[in-house]
Structures are given as structure tokens and as C-alpha cells.
Amino acid sequence: MRFKSPAAAVVFCLIISVSGCGTVKRATEPVYNGVKSVAEFADILEKYPNGVFSNRNGEQMRTQILSFQFVIGNRIYFCTGSEKPLYEQLVKFPYVSYCTFPQDFEPVLSLNGKVVFTDDVALKERVFGGTGYASRFIIRHYQTPYNPNLKLFYIDVEEIELYSNRGPEIYRTI
């Protein structure tokens, strides 16, 4: 799948993200290609850790670039801070979509589900053990996994959408 401009690609990704986050109804029910685990797509997420995170802010949709931390089963983990607007938005409206893709947009991966916050210190320590830019930012900003402002959350993925030159593939999760 090729786009004429980066803006066109972002619009495409946003349309995909918004369609799956529970606030916009699809014209028809999706056709599922079977059942898969998010862990089966971990290689895509690890290669392209920055993505478009779509959530509600009241009646309006909001998107932002967010880096994922790691995957366990059907859970994709992220961090935010209790002082940030995103935290409050996710508490009120937990259904979200996360979309990531390489520079050539082949493939585009969209994960849709419900946010769950966790205070599991072992998982927060895993974030602090990471070597990516997102982990370094979190370490610099929060200093310790015991910082009460550090909020670790995961998307309990219910639906996986993969868009490639083969066309759309939509899966339920195991």
C-alpha cells in the first residue's frame, strides 16, 4: 500500500484507528479471518514502537504519538503520568485504538480494546529495564518504578486489524 504523501498515510491510519475504538460504528460488521494473539504481531510492534494512539476526550476524539513498551499475550503495555490529561481521559473512556506502521506503510497494524491500569511493580521494573527511547524518557522523568505518578497500563486487545497489499485482515483475539 503506497500513499502520495505522509499526510494521506496519517489520515488513513486515523480512519483505521477511529473505526475500531468503539466510538464510531462500522457500516457493516467486520469479517473476521480467525483468532490470533497480539504476541503473534510483536515483531511488527518491536520494529515500529511509535504509533498513533486514539482515545476519547469527552465527546471528541484525540490522537497522539505514543510508544509501546512491551507485549504479553493480548496485552500491549504503555506508560503515562497521573499528571497528564491522557490519564484522566483513559480512566473515563477506556476504549482505545493503537496503530503503528513502517515508513512504507506495509503493513499497517491496528489494535483495538480496553485500557486497564496496573500497579504491578515487576512490570514497571521491566519498563525501567528497557533500552528504547520511550524507556529512557520514562526513567529520566519518573526516576523510579515506585513513583506514584507513573501509570502503567495495557490495552486488553479485543480486535487486531492488519492492512497490507493482501488487503485487510481482521482477527479476534484468543
Q: Are 43 and 56 in contact (CB under 8 A)?
A: no
Structural domain boundaries in the chain: 6-173
Q: Are 155 and 94 in contact (CB under 8 A)?
A: no
Q: And the C-alpha cell for 30?
A: 467486520
Q: Are 111 and 163 in contact (CB under 8 A)?
A: no
pLDDT digits (tens, 9 = 90+) for 94-107: 999 999 998 888 89
In the chain, what's the furthest Cα-to-Cα distance? 47
- The predicted model scores a pTM of 0.80
pLDDT of residue 129: 87
Closest by CA to 58, choosing from 84, 20, 85, is 85
Closest by CA to 52, choosing from 134, 90, 118, 108, is 108
pLDDT digits (tens, 9 = 90+) for 109-137: 999 999 999 999 999 999 998 777 777 88
Checking if the pLDDT of 20 tops 50, the result is: no
pLDDT of residue 26: 54
pLDDT of residue 62: 93
Rounded-to-integer distance, Cα 22 and Cα 61, Å: 11
Checking if the pLDDT of 156 tops 90, the result is: yes
Residue 154: pLDDT band with limits 50, 70, 90: very high
SS3 category, 105: coil
- Cβ atoms within 10 Å, residue 174: 12
- Average pLDDT along the chain: 85
Q: And the C-alpha cell for 111?
A: 489494535
Q: And the C-alpha cell for 76?
A: 500491549
Checking if the pLDDT of 84 tops 70, the result is: yes
Of the options 3.20.20.100, 2.30.110.10, 1.20.120.790, 3.40.50.11540, the CATH number for the domain spanning 6-173:
2.30.110.10
Checking if the pLDDT of 141 tops 60, the result is: yes
Percent of the chain with pLDDT over 70: 84
